Structure 1
Amino acid sequence: MGDGEASTGDHPLSPAARLFHAPRINCYILAIMGCKTRINPDVVKAGLEQTLLKHPRFSSKLVVDRGKKKWSRTTVNLEDHVIIPDLDPKVDFPDQFLEDYVSNLTRNPMDLSKPLWELHLLNMKTSDAEAVGVFRIHHSMGDGASLVSLLLACTRKTLDPEAVPTVPVKKRAGSANSGGFWWFFLAVWSALRLIWNTLVDMLVFVATIVFLKDTKTPIKGAHGVELNTKKFVHRTVKLDDMKLVKNALNMTINDVVLGVTQAGLSRYLNRRYGEDDKDVGAKQRKSNIPKSIRLRTAILVNLRPTAGIQDLADMMAKGSKARWGNLIGYILLPFTIALQDNPLDYVRQAKATIDRKKLSLEAICTFVSAELVLRIFGVKVAAAITHRILSNNTMAISSLIGPLEEISFYGHPMAYLAPSVYGHPQALTVHFQQYAEKMTIALAVDPNVIPDPHQLCDDLQESLKLIKDAVVKEGLIKDVV
Structure 2
Amino acid sequence: MAERNQPLTPMDRIFLQPKAYHIVNFAVAFEHPIDVVSFKTLIQNSIMLQHPRFCSLIVRDSCTGREHWRRTVVDIDRHLIVLHRPISAVDPSISDDQDAVNNYMADLPISSPLPIDKPLWEIHLLLAHKTAVFRVNHALGDGFSLMSMLQSFSSTTRKVHDQDAPPRRRWSGVWMLMKSFWYTVVFAFQFLMRLLWVWDETTCLSGGSGVELWPRRLATARFRLDDMKTVKRAVGQATINDVLVGAISCGFSRYLDTRSTKALKEGTQITGISMVNLRPRAGLQDISDVINGNYETWWGNKIGVILFPIYYHRSRNKDPLQFVRRTKTIMDKKKLSLEALFSNKLMEFGISFPVPKLLSTFYNRMLRNTTFFISNIVGPRDEITLAGNPVKTIRLTSSSLPQAIIMHMVSYAGMAEMQISVAKDIIPDPKVLANYFEDALLQMKQAAEAQDSNC
Aligned position for 2:153? 154
Overall identity of the aligned pairs, in %: 31
Q: What's the TM-score once normalised by structure 2's chain length? A: 0.91
| Corresponding residue for residue 301 of structure 1 | 276
Query: Residue 391 in 1 paired to residue 368 in 2?
Result: yes
> Separation in 2 of the partners of 1:449 and 1:89?
24
Partner of 2:175: 189
The answer to whether structure 1 residue 112 and structure 2 residue 112 are counterparts is no
Tell me if structure 2 keeps the 8 A contact 1:209–1:388: yes
Counterpart for residue 201 of structure 1: 187
Equivalent pair of 1:307/1:322 in contact (CA under 8 Å): no
Corresponding residue number in structure 2 for 1:29: 24
The equivalent residue for 2:218 is 232
Task: Describe the superposition over 1:62-86 as per-residue Cα deviations: whole angstroms up to 9, x where unpaired.
Answer: 1223233211111111111111112
Residue 269 (structure 1) shift: 1.6
Corresponding residue to 2:74 among 72, 76, 79: 76
1: distance between equivalents of 2:282 and 2:439?
Answer: 35
- How far is the alpha carbon of 1:445 from its aligned partner? 1.5
Listed as ranges, the matches of 1:313-462 within 5 Å are 314-315=288-289, 318=291, 320-323=293-296, 324-340=299-315, 341-462=318-439
Distance in structure 1 (CA, Å) of the matches to 2:216 and 2:241: 26
Distance 1:89 1:391, change over 3 A: closer
After TM superposition, the structure 1 = structure 2 runs for residues 104-143 of structure 1, keeping only pairs within 5 Å, are 104-107=107-110, 108-125=112-129, 131-143=130-142
Q: Give deviations 1:134-161, integer Å, cap 9, x for gaps.
A: 111111111122112211222232xxxx
1:243 equivalent in structure 2: 229
Cα RMSD between the aligned structures? Answer: 2.3
Whole-angstrom distance in 2 between the partners of 1:426 and 1:244: 32
The alignment covers a number of residue pairs equal to 440
> 1:328, CA displacement in angstroms?
2.1
Q: Alpha carbons of 1:419 and 1:466: their partners in 2 closer, same or farther (altered >3 Å)?
A: same
Tell me, yes or no, if the aligned pair for 1:106 and 1:230 is still in contact at 8 Å: no
TM-score by length of 1: 0.86
Aligned equivalents of 2:168, 2:16: Cα separation in 1: 38
1:256 aligns with 2:255: no
The unaligned stretches of length 5 or more in structure 1 are 1-5, 126-130, 158-162, 177-185, 278-287
Give the aligned residue type for 1:105: L
Alignment CA distance shift 1:227-1:147 (3 Å) = same
Return the alpha-carbon distance in structure 1 between the equivalents of residues 345 and 428 of structure 2.
38
Cα shift at 1:173: 5.6
User: Which residue of the partner structure matches residue 257 of structure 2?
Assistant: 270
CA contact (8 A) 2:376 2:408 kept: yes
Q: Which residue identity lines up with residue 78 of structure 1 in the other structure?
A: I
Tell me: CA distance 1:308–1:255, structure 2 relative to 1, closer, same or farther (3 Å): closer
Q: 1:89 deviation in Å?
A: 9.3
Is 1:98 paired with 2:101? yes
How much does 1:195 deviate? 1.1
**1:87 match:** 85
**Residue identity matched to 2:259:** R
Q: Runs ≥4 in structure 1, deviation > 4 angstroms? A: 88-92, 171-176, 306-310
Distance 1:306 1:145, change over 3 A: farther
